Amino acid sequence: MSVTIDHQNNYWNELADIKDELAARDWFPGTSGNLSIKVSDDPLTFLVTASGKDKRKRTDEDFLLVDSDGHPVEITNLKPSAETVLHQRIYQKTDAGCSLHVHTVDNNVISDLYGDQGSITFQNQELIKAFNIWEEDGKITIPIVENYADLPRLGDAVADKITPGIHGILIRNHGITVWGRNGFEAKRHLEAFEFLFSYHVKMRLLTK
């Protein structure tokens, strides 16, 4: 394996900092959520959160390195996230360097309100520029897929919706998965989506 310890440590620290920031927003209720960051392209390896942990806590066992099949690269007693397949499929289908999955009330509400129509599009919001969309009346669409307990099936459903210009997928009554070329971009996309969801939910309540 050509990944040096220093190289891996830098990615570890970057992902740990992102995890802390998302935890400060209370985006990991009930041990939900998982995060990953790509460490090498060829062969594909990425650090992913260990399964079932309280992601609000920072420990030396928060992440483990996995390969393109989602299997641990080193001998460990840690289990990769149960949803590692989502991260795998994103790295296989995009140029992402980081992928973030969180469960929030707002993303669950939006996913259920618009689940039957299969996507939601936002327009006339300054924060759409967070997706590098700068034109007048720019729009951002996020597909919504059904939630499946069968995780390979869920991975396929998510992968099927990944096309150019898509930066995240909502999983109905489950959560959101977003990605970016690096940790900074993935977090920007996540924060922008959550802002748009929260705004939309509040507006619907206020204008009923």
- Binding residue positions for Zn(2+): 101, 103
- Are 140 and 133 in contact, with CB atoms under 8 Å apart? yes
Which partner, Zn ion, ligand L4RZE5RM, none, binds residue 52 by CB below 5 to 8 Å per kind? ligand L4RZE5RM
Provide the binding-site residues for ligand L4RZE5RM, judged by CB under 6 A: 30-34, 49, 51-52, 81-83, 101
Q: Considering the complex, what minimum distance in angstroms separates the CB of residue 65 from ligand L4RZE5RM?
A: 15
Taking alpha carbons only, the member of 13, 70, 35 closest to residue 175 is: 35
Backbone torsion region of residue 107, taken as left when φ is above 0, otherwise alpha when ψ lies between -120 and 50, otherwise beta: alpha
Cα–Cα separations (whole angstroms), residue 15 to 2, 8, 91, 146: 20, 11, 16, 28
From the list Zn ion, ligand L4RZE5RM, none, pick the one residue 143 interacts with, judged by a Cβ distance below 5 to 8 Å according to partner type.
none
Output the smallest distance, CB 88 to ligand L4RZE5RM, in A.
13
Please, what is the minimum distance in Å from the beta carbon of residue 172 to Zn ion?
12
**Residues contributing to the annotated binding site:** 101, 103
Where does this chain bind Zn ion (CB under 5 A)?
Answer: 175
